[in-house]
Amino acid sequence: MRWIVGLLLLVACPVSAAQLLFAGGQWVALDRGASCEAASRALRIALKGKVQARAGFAFDAAGPRRGQFFAQLSRNLRPGSTVILTVGEQPFMLASGSGWAWSRGPAQEAAIIAAVRSAGGMRIESRDSGGGRFIDRYQLGGAPTAIDAAAGRCAGKMQRR
């Protein structure tokens, strides 16, 4: 099962040169060269031709991202809508634009990662372009190890430079 999740993420992601670092639970860690990520797809599988919601944490070998949370949402957002990530019972307001949402800075990123380490699930909710509420749900089994694998790989790249 874990290799299926990894394969789905590799196929769904535009960069095909990704190296699988870890696959466990519903999460994978990927090395994309200049960046690494821990990622998962939403529990609801998208219909053919629709966007598959996915979320994760990005780390750059030499850039500004050190655990930035990101999510490709299952629907287009209504302009001005708030996007809320809830990890366990802890809510986080995310920045958003063009069908994506992301963390607001290093302090929030650290808090999200800490919450992920002790929660079983997370959800992202907002309003779609028609005004309807939607929720993208994720399981967190394997997430802590995937985050550690992605962070460790990119940290190792920085030390080699």
pLDDT tens for the chain, 161 residues long, are 444 444 344 444 454 578 999 999 999 999 999 899 999 999 999 999 999 999 999 999 776 778 999 999 999 999 999 999 999 999 999 999 989 999 999 999 999 999 999 999 999 999 999 999 999 999 999 999 999 999 999 887 655 54
Extents of the domains making up the chain = 2-160
Predicted local confidence at residue 16, as pLDDT: 54
Residue 2 token pair: 């874990």
Order of strands, edge to edge, in the sheet holding 54-60?
Answer: 19-24, 27-31, 35-41, 54-60, 66-72, 100-102, 90-97, 83-87, 121-127, 133-139
Question: What is the DSSP-derived secondary structure letter of residue 51?
Answer: P
Of 153, 161, 156, the residue nearest 29 (C-alpha): 153
Write the class of the CATH domain 2-160.
mainly beta
CA dihedral 6, 125, 79, 100 (to 10 degrees): -20
Whole-model pTM over 0.75: yes
Asked if 18 and 36 touch (Cβ cutoff 8 Å), the reply is no
Report the alpha-carbon distance of residue 26 to residue 38 in Å, rounded: 11
